[in-house]
Amino acid sequence: MAYQFNFAALEPYWTQFARGCWLTVLLATLAITIGLVIGIVVALARRSQIRALDLAAVSYIELIRNTPFLVQVFFIYFGLPALGLSFSPWSAAVLALSVNCGAFAAEVIRGGIDAIPKGQYEAGRALGLKPLQIFRYIVLKPALRIIYPALSGQFILALLTTSIVSSISAEELTAIAQSVDTLTFRSFEIYIVATILYLTLAMLFATIFKAIDRAYFSYPVR
C-alpha cells in the first residue's frame, strides 16, 4: 500500500500547533512551580517530629506515586464534582499535574536535604540561627545543587505528561493535534509533527537546563 504524504494540508494549522506548544510549556511550568511548593512543604513534613504530619506526608506521596496519573486526572475532573468541587478542564489539568509533581518533588527534595551533613545544621544552631534561617542560608543552596538534575528531569517529564490531560479536553499540544485531525483526517502526518514538536521541546529545555547547571551549579575546574 502506497501512502501519499501530504504535510501541506497542515500548513493552515501551524499557528494552532505553535499555540499548543506554548500551552504545553505553560502548563508544565505552572505544574512544576506549584509542585515544588507542595514538594517543599511535604518534604519538611516528612522531617517533622510530629508523627501525624509525617504520616500524612507519607500517605500523600505513596498514594500519588502508586496510582496512574490518568486516574488522578479523572478523579479531579469527574469525581470531585460529586462533592461540589467543579473545575474547568484547564484548572483540573493544572491541579492534577501539580499534585502529581509535588509527590515526586517531595522525595527528591527530602533526599537533597538529607544529603547535607549534620555538621551544617549544628553550625547554624551554634550561630544562633532559627530553623527557617538554617534552611534558607545553609541548607537550600547545597541541596538545590544536589537535586537540580532530578528537578530538571522532572520538568521535562511533566512537559511530556501534559499530553494525558487531553483526555479531559484541556488544551495543549496533543488536544490541538486531535482537533486538527478531525478537520484534516491526516492522522499520520499530524502525529509525526506532534512527536517532532514534543522531542524539540524536550531537547530544547534539556539544553537550557544543562547550560544553567554549568553556569550556577558546577564547580570551577582548577
pLDDT, average across residues 17-42: 95
| Whether residue 200 has pLDDT greater than 70 | yes
Instruction: Confirm whether pTM is higher than 0.85.
Output: yes
Percent of the chain at pLDDT exceeding 70 = 97
pLDDT at 220 over 60: no
Q: For residues 105 and 95, give the distance between their C-alpha atoms in angstroms, rounded to a whole number.
A: 15
User: Does 132 reside within a domain?
Assistant: yes
Alpha-carbon distance 119 to 113, whole Å?
Answer: 13
pLDDT value for 118: 77
Mean pLDDT estimate for the chain: 90
Reading the block at residue 118, the C-alpha cell is: 549534620
- Sequence letter at residue 175: A
How far, in Å, are 41, 49, 57, 124, 138 from residue 121 at the CA level? 19, 16, 23, 5, 8
Domain assignment of residue 30, yes or no: yes
Q: Report how many domains make up the chain.
A: 1
Name the residue with cell 515526586: 104
- Residue 221 is assigned to a structural domain of this protein: no
Residue 4 has pLDDT above 80, yes or no: yes
Structural domain includes residue 196 = yes
The SS3 call for residue 33 is helix
Task: Summarize pLDDT for 99-152 with one digit per residue, the tens.
Answer: 999 999 999 988 888 887 777 777 777 877 877 777 777 777 788 888 888 999
pLDDT at 221 over 50: no
State percent of the chain over pLDDT 90.
65
Residue 70 belongs to a domain with what CATH number? 1.10.3720.10
5 in any annotated domain:
no
Question: What is residue 3's three-state secondary structure?
Answer: coil
Residue 8 lies in a domain: no
9 lies in some domain: no
Cell 494540508 belongs to residue: 9
140 alpha carbon, distance to own chain's centre: 20
Does residue 67 or residue 47 have the better pLDDT? 67
Residue 10 pLDDT more than 70? yes
Q: Is residue 222 part of a domain?
A: no
pLDDT band at 190 (very low <50, low <70, confident <90, very high): very high
pLDDT score for 1? 61
pLDDT of 61: 95
Which pLDDT band holds residue 222 (cuts at 50, 70, 90)? very low
- The larger pLDDT score, comparing residue 109 to residue 216, is at 109
For residue 166, with 0-12 CB atoms within 10 Å meaning exposed, 13-18 middle and 19 or more buried, which class applies? buried
Residue 74 structural domain: 15-216
